[in-house]
Amino acid sequence: MLELYNQIQEACSVIQAKWDRTPHAGIILGTGLGNLASDIETEAVFDYEEIPHFLKSTATSHRGRLVCGTLSGLPVIAMEGRHHMYEGYSLKQVTLPVRVFKALGAELLIASNAVGGMNPYLQTGDIVVVDDHINLMGDNPLIGINDDRLGPRFPDMSAPYDQKLGDAALEIARADNFRAQKGVFVAIAGPNLETRAEYRFLRMIGADIVGMSTVPEVLVAVHAGLRTVALSVVTDMCLPDALKPANVEEIIAIANEAEPHLRSIVRGLLKREAETVA
C-alpha cells in the first residue's frame, strides 16, 4: 500500500492541470448506467489512459472516461465505467480512483452497479439502496502495510453506508413514484454468475442482491473517510428454483431502462447536499 500515495499524487496532478475545482462528490457508474454522465455540465474529460495509474476498462458497456463538471449545483467527478477484479486487476488498482477522489477534496462517494436479485420481493428494474454488504471476493484492497496518510490500519465498518443518504434516496424514489428499497449486497469475484446452490447459500447468509463490484470501493472509501451511498439496479432475478440462463444484452437493456430512476436519486441527493453546503 505504500506505493499508492505517490500514484495518487501523480494522477491528481494530471487532472488538476485541466480541472482545478474541488469535487464535492465522486461518482462511479456501473453496467449500463454510464449515460448519467450526460447530465453533468462537463468542464473536462479524460480517457482513463490519459491518467497515470488508471486502468483500461474492458468490461461490457463501460466507456472508460473520467468526466469532471457540475451536477445539481455541485462540482463532481464521475467514472464512466469502473474496473473489476475479474478483469485481472488487483483491488488496490481497482480502487485507486476512489483515493484520487478523496485527494482531490471529495467528501462523498456515490457508487452504482447492476446486480442479480435474490430476495423474492424484488423485481427486475428495482433500485436497491445498499444498507450493508458481505465481502466474498476472497481479497481486500486494504491488505498490506498501512499508509497512515491514507487512512487508519483498522477502519470501522459498523456503518459503511451513510444511513441519512440511504433514507434520503428512498424518499426521492417515493416522491418520484418508483420502486426502491434497502438491501444487503454480497460481492463475489466473478466473472461467472453463480450456480443454483451458490444462490441458495448467498440468500441463506443474509444477502438480497449479488454483484462483482462496489464492495472494494466502499472499503477504500471508509478507509479514506468518505461518506458513501451505493445504488443497485436489479437486472436479473436469481431465484434458484426458477433460474433462467443469464443474457448479458438483456441485463444491459434493463439497466438502461432503469437509469432514469438512478439519475433521479443521484440528482436529488446532490441537490440536498448543495442545500447543506450553501
Could you tell me the residue ranges of all domains in the chain? 4-277
Task: Give the orientation angle of helix 4-18 with respect to helix 96-104, to 10 degrees.
Answer: 60
Identify the CATH number of the domain defined by range 4-277. Answer: 3.40.50.1580
Q: pTM score, two decimals?
A: 0.94
Looking at residue 191, its pLDDT comes to 94
Q: Average pLDDT for consecutive 10-residue bins of the chain (278 residues)?
A: 90 96 95 80 95 78 83 95 91 96 98 96 96 98 96 97 97 96 97 95 98 97 98 95 87 89 95 86
Looking at residue 61, its pLDDT comes to 52
78, 100 Cβ separation under 8 angstroms: no
**Grid cell of 60 as nine digits:** 461490457
Task: Write the CA distances from 231 to 13, 152, 184, 218, 241, integer angstroms.
Answer: 30, 26, 11, 12, 27
DSSP secondary structure string for all residues of 17-55: HH-----SEEEEE-TT-GGGGGGSEEEEEEEGGGSTTPP
Looking at residue 249, its pLDDT comes to 86
Task: Give the orientation angle of helix 163-176 with respect to helix 248-277, to 10 degrees.
Answer: 110
Looking at residue 48, its pLDDT comes to 94
